[in-house]
């Protein structure tokens, strides 16, 4: 028997809102969605993690940046590529590209073709890596 979303939401505690815990929860949420091979919006990510206002999108972006740091350190595709902006035509927010540049993985125009090409490649690699039927390879 699976828990209904409102049952899960009622069990979230203050500790679950700590940045490290949010990042862990977001990674688990995105991994579960990776087999669909489709991106989700920042708002859908916030709803999927049952975040409460205020600043839900900010909480998601902080967690995504933490995940990007972890993925870069482990030489994995950015699972954060699965999260896109609602009004960005399929691209993540500019902060995704800024963070990728800080981590040495993106060097281009975050508003042009470089962004589109980088994101498409990163999204493809992320869903291929994270969306495997038995989960990602063990390190």
User: What average pLDDT score do residues 46-51 get?
Assistant: 89
What residues contact 43, with CB distance under 8 A and at least 6 apart?
56, 57, 86
Q: So what's the pLDDT on residue 12?
A: 43
CA dihedral sign of residues 118, 120, 121, 126: positive
Between residues 76 and 131, the one the model is more confident about: 76
* Threshold 0.85, pTM exceeds: no
In the structure encoding, which two tokens stand for residue 87, read together? 């009004």
Q: So what's the pLDDT on residue 17?
A: 55
User: What average pLDDT score do residues 61-80 get?
Assistant: 96
Pick the range with the lowest mean pLDDT from 13-27, 48-62, 80-94, 102-116: 13-27
Q: So what's the pLDDT on residue 137?
A: 64
């Amino acid at each position: 028997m699976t828990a209904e979303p409102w049952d899960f939401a009622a069990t979230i505690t203050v500790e679950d809102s700590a940045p490290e815990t949010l990042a862990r929860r977001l990674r688990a949420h995105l991994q579960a969605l990776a087999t669909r091979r489709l991106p989700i919006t920042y708002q859908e990510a916030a709803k999927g993690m049952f975040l409460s206002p205020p600043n839900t999108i900010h909480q998601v972006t902080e967690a995504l940046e933490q995940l990007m740091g972890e993925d870069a350190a482990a030489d994995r595709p950015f699972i954060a590529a699965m999260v896109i902006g609602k009004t960005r035509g399929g691209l993540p927010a500019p902060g995704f590209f800024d963070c990728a540049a800080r981590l040495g993985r993106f060097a281009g125009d975050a508003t042009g073709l470089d962004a589109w090409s980088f994101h498409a490649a990163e999204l493809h690699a992320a869903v291929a890596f994270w969306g495997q039927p038995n989960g990602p390879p063990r390190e």
